[in-house]
Every structure is written in C-alpha cells, then in structure tokens.
Amino acid sequence: MPDKLHSAVSHQLGVSVENRPILATVFNKDCQDTVTIFGGFHGDEPKSVHICREFIKLLSQHPAHSRHTRWVIAPLINPDGYERRHRRNAHKVDINRNFPTENWTPGKRNSRMFGGPSPGSEPETSAVINLIAAYPPHVIITIHSISDGRFCNNYDGPAKSLAEIMHQHNHYPITSSIGYATPGSFGHWAGVEKNIPTITLELPSHHSPKKCWQDNRPALLAVGAFAQHSQLS
C-alpha cells in the first residue's frame, strides 16, 4: 500500500510568457519543516534542472528521506528560456534580476541581465513568489551553474552554517558574494530581505550532469536534516 503521508503532490505555480506550465512537486506536504529547491531560473543552465529532477526521483523511490521534511521542488522556473537554451525568459528578462527588491534596477535592455520593465513584472517571478507564500520555507536552495571555476555555495541571509554543511558534502567553496552586484536577484529578495536562509548553489559548468548529481545528492539530503533541527521559522 502506498505511504500516503509521504507521497508527492504536483502543483502548477503558473504559466510562462509562452504559456508553458511552471510546476512544483511537494513531498510530505503536511509537515512544516520545509526545504524549497529551485532549478532552471536560467534556461542555459540545464544541469540545475537535471539535479532537481534526479532529486525528485530519489525522493519518490525513498520515502524515508521525506519522513521529517517537507520538500518543495520546482525544477524549471524558466521553461521558455530552457526551450531555447537561453538565459532569459521570452520577454528577454533575466528572472534572477526581476525580483521586487529595494535594490532592483532595470539595467540595460539588451544586457543578459536585464531586470525587466518593472520589479516583479514577469509571470515566472510571480510563480516563484506564490510558491514561497504557499509553503513558507525554512531554507531555500536555488540551483544555477557557472563557468571558469567559480562554482560555490553562495549564501544570502542567515545561511552561513547551511553553506558549511553543504560544503562538507560537495566541497565547493563558500562565498557570501558571487563577485558582482546582483540587484533584483532571488537570493537578495529571499535571503537578505525576507531573512530566509538561502543558498545559491552554483554548479561547475565543466562537470557532467552525472558528477554534479553525485557531488550534490548528499549535500541536498544534509540540508533536509538541517531544516529539521533549525530553530528558524
């Protein structure tokens, strides 16, 4: 008989500019200790989507990992960009610069990091904000990938100890800054302004999807244990 308490439910958070569904899978939905994981903010970073999908598979096969944790996993925030393998959405807005933060600026329209016509203008951004409201997270992991050896566990908000736990498993460097300003980023919105421990997990773009998964599977599971013992709410 299936374990009903720990079985997964699927949610549609909204649709993209081009009407593609934006989906999340929730395990152990009635538990309060929530870890929320995002992938595919940038359509040209498919490894982030791969890791989320592998993690959903793992949790589906091993319900014990969800016994004390509510996992909320949204593998692909920017399906239109992913379809084209482009960073930005179909409006050519960088979703990771479109969050309604106090430091939001549009930037240049033709830039890879264009923040959009106004803060929170994009349906993909609204989908993320709605998910955070529906399942308030104790901790957030947002997965990206990066070139030139800059892979890291980048933390925003009260997440240094969480970054240290992930580092013990994936051995990526810990940083509090990616090295350049990121106005309107999700990390700033969730970590700095909402005070939710937030890790931007930057995968090494030169590693295979398989290696990224092997290195980060134990790191993600360790985050679940951290959320259970965290006093943060």
Our answer to whether residue 102 is catalytic in this structure is no
Q: How far apart are CA 134 and CA 85, in angstroms?
A: 29
One DSSP character per residue, 159-226 reads: -HHHHHHHHHHH-PPEES--SS--TT-HHIIIIIIS---EEEEEEETTS-HHHHHHHHHHHHHHHHHH
Per-residue binding letters, 112-151, with Zn ion (x by CB under 5 A): --------------------------------x-------
Shortest Cβ distance from residue 52 to Zn ion (Å)? Answer: 13
CB of 32 to Zn ion, least distance (A): 30
- Is 42 a binding residue for Zn ion by CB under 5 A? The answer is yes
Q: By C-beta, is 45 or 122 nearer to Zn ion?
A: 45
Binding residues for Zn ion, rule CB under 5 A, total 3
Locate 133 and state its tokens: 């409201």
**Active-site position among 45, 122, 124, 202:** 202
Taking the C-alpha atoms of residue 135 and residue 119, their distance in angstroms, rounded to an integer, is 22
Alpha helices, DSSP H, located in 44-115: 46-61, 79-84
Per-residue interface string for the shown chain with Zn ion, residues 45-74, x marking contact by CB under 5 A = x-----------------------------
91 binds Zn ion (CB under 5 A): no
Unique residue bearing structure tokens 């803060």: 119
Q: Which residues of 158-175 are buried (b: 16+ CB within 10 A; e: fewer)?
A: ebeebbebbeebbebebe
Closer CB to Zn ion, 65 or 97, in the complex: 97
Chain positions 1 to 30 lying near Zn ion, rule: CB under 5 A, are none
Cβ at position 28, least distance to Zn ion in Å = 28
Q: Is 88 in the site for Zn ion (CB under 5 A)?
A: no
State the helix-helix crossing angle for 209-229 and 46-61, rounded to 10 degrees: 60
**Whose structure tokens read 């931007």?**
200
Least distance to Zn ion from the beta carbon of 233, Å?
Answer: 29
List residues with catalytic annotation: 202
Given the rule CB under 5 A, which residues bind Zn ion? 42, 45, 144
